[in-house]
Structure 1
Amino acid sequence: MTAGIDLGGKVAVVTGAGRGIGRATALALANAGAAVVVNDLAGEMVEEVVTLIRGIGGKAAGAVCAIGDSAAAEQCVDTALSRFGRLDIMITNAGNLRDRVLWNTSDKDFDSVIMTHLRGTFTCARAAARHFRAAGEGGRLILMASLAGQRGNFGQTAYAAAKAGIAAMARTWAMELAKANVTVNAIVPNALTRMTETIPALGPYAAMAERGEPLPEHLRSNIGIGTAEDVAPLAVFLSSDRAAGISGQCIGLGGDRLSLWQHPQEKQFALHRGGWTAEAIAETWSATFQQSHESIGIDMGEI
């Protein structure tokens, strides 16, 4: 059991739990005492994680399905209710990648990423929210956002769009579900997983993590990137009673770096009585706004 955090009696669904962050999260929740529904589209991976959890004395059940449509979401919730009699925590982690620059992104690639990440988060959260409201015992929705959704990232049109949408949904649902005592937060993870192993600069470090070797201090602290296991404690904390007052937040964790992300808000403004002309905008922009442009992209520092 995770020191100081007890999830005994709680039941969680973790989508995309066959590998990476989902797998690490499922194991961490089980170690903290929760019963876990392990979802993935690969049956052998689901069975492996279920077996691991049972091997440490935990409770687990599998839900083999591809996250995206309503039927898959209902299957995950129904598995929790039929096997463990309740549902307390829904963690929407399932995802995929179809990285392409804008002009090379096909409709099929875009739709695949949106279906799994954005629609899958929506359908799973909706199914859980309906249960939470009917049961009247509160609950936890924990969504997986991304640095790409916060900052943008070259070659990740669909992924960045989906993850930005997930962050927005977390803020919206936190308001909608507050009266039901359901908290909604988005994790912004930064970990060396299969979703980062194709980035050339991170390749050698991904190999180090795969071999179980410790990652360099500057990577864990300055860049704030680590392993999937480094991210999992945040999901355990947000699932617990100690996080009852936290909702509508985007919270980052990578390596040794825990962070609270600032939501978009109006940064600067100017007034022009009677309305603006294009010329007035041009003059005011260069005088007032030009030096305040926001930066874009993920800062990888000195890797």
Structure 2
Amino acid sequence: MSATDLTGKVAIVTGSGRGLGRAYALALAAANAAVVVNDVDSDAADEVVRRIIATGGRSIAVVAPVGSTESAEALIRAAQEAFGRVDIMVANAGVLRDKVLWKMSDADFDAVINTHLRGAFTCGRAAASAMREQGEGGRIILIGSPAGQFGSFGQTNYAAAKAGIVAMARTWSLELARANITANVVIPTAMTAMTATIPAYAELYKSFEAGEPLPRDIRRDHALGGPEDVAPLVVWLASDDAANVTGQAIGIGGDKITLYSHPAERAAQYRDGGWTPSSISAAWAEQFQPLEQPSGATIQPISK
């Protein structure tokens, strides 16, 4: 049996009624995992369940918004009642409320933080508790974003949530190691409805939706493919092959896969007796300024 065969494993995928989440759910089912499909759209969730069952898989739908402890625990109960256990938690659900800082309301901020960050926390905590009780290890897979690595104009809430998700996974990798539970972050880039909101990709997205293949430079230099190009990483992280991989942020999209670094000191200087504003200014100009890093992900030019 292949190490990426997930026979006997049970996965929960939040926000899996459409887009990337649906691709994760279908790929896990294709690897023989039983899948709990979660979404706020019952029709979308039921359709994914039907597709899985039609191909001989096992699946149920749980319609609930993530964020609350109650929803997270309901997902665990559903998995245990239907399939007897839970082995894989993919915390994917999210919403967008994009606005520049001075126009972002409390409600805009809270909605995104509650779904992405708190939802990942409550689902991860509930899954970790169930996996520790089972005593057979497990996989927690959180979903990040380039916005959480580099920042993103108009996405204070989203970027903060996605950065926090990476920090949580690194922390959980330490706390859950003795229980053989891994915690990792997938940072996907794909042609989705969200990508279509980026002006540089608007026309390309229309072509993609019409069924046209993406050019090689888009798949490689821009790391953009379909949601199905991201799903293999989720399956691999859920498998025995990745049993020793934990605390990592891994990007994937199109033809590209990348490992993100942990934050690290880029330079340091010492001054006996401490620092003054003027000495900081001099040190900054001499050593630190050349090492400043720009904010925001770089979008490569699109070949015509």
The TM-score normalised by the length of structure 1 is 0.98
Cα offsets for 1:117-166 (capped at 9, x unmatched):
00000000000011111111100000001000001111111000000000
Give the SS at the match of 2:192.
coil
| Residue in 2 that maps onto 1:135 | 134
1:22 deviates by: 0.3
| Residue in 1 that maps onto 2:57 | 58
Q: Which runs of 4+ in 1 moved over 3 A?
A: none
Instruction: Give ranges in structure 1 of 5+ residues lacking alignment.
Output: none
Residues 3, 239 of structure 2: 8 Å contact kept: no
Give the SS at the match of 1:54.
helix
Residues 3, 241 of structure 2: 8 Å contact kept: no
What residue identity is the alignment partner of 1:261?
Answer: Y
Mapped partners of 2:4, 2:76: distance in 1 = 24
Mapped partners of 2:54, 2:100: distance in 1 = 44
1:70 deviates by: 0.6
| Residue in 2 that maps onto 1:42 | 41
Spell out the pairing of 1:1-303 with structure 2 (5 A cutoff). Answer: 5-303=4-302
Mapped partners of 1:249, 1:4: distance in 2 = 20
Residues 101, 154 of structure 2: 8 Å contact kept: yes
Mapped partners of 1:249, 1:126: distance in 2 = 18
C-alpha root-mean-square deviation of aligned residues, in Å? Answer: 1.1
Give the SS at the match of 2:195.
coil
Mapped partners of 2:74, 2:211: distance in 1 = 35
Residues 39, 45 of structure 2: 8 Å contact kept: yes
Cα offsets for 1:82-134 (capped at 9, x unmatched):
00001000000000101111111111000000000000000000000111111
1:75 deviates by: 1.1
Mapped partners of 2:3, 2:81: distance in 1 = 29
Give the SS at the match of 1:153.
coil
Identity of aligned residues (%): 54
1:21 deviates by: 0.5
Give the number of equivalent residue pairs. Answer: 302
Mapped partners of 2:59, 2:208: distance in 1 = 27
Give the SS at the match of 1:223.
coil
Mapped partners of 1:109, 1:23: distance in 2 = 25
Give the SS at the match of 1:114.
helix
1:288 deviates by: 1.0
Mapped partners of 1:73, 1:212: distance in 2 = 36
Mapped partners of 2:265, 2:156: distance in 1 = 24
For structure 1, which segment, 204-213 or 279-288, has the greater mean C-alpha deviation from structure 2 after superposition?
A: 204-213
1:193 deviates by: 1.1
Mapped partners of 2:25, 2:209: distance in 1 = 19
Cα offsets for 1:231-287 (capped at 9, x unmatched):
000000000000001000000001000000011011110001111111110111111
What residue identity is the alignment partner of 1:272?
Answer: R
Mapped partners of 2:153, 2:283: distance in 1 = 30
The TM-score normalised by the length of structure 2 is 0.97
What residue identity is the alignment partner of 1:292?
Answer: L
Mapped partners of 2:261, 2:278: distance in 1 = 33
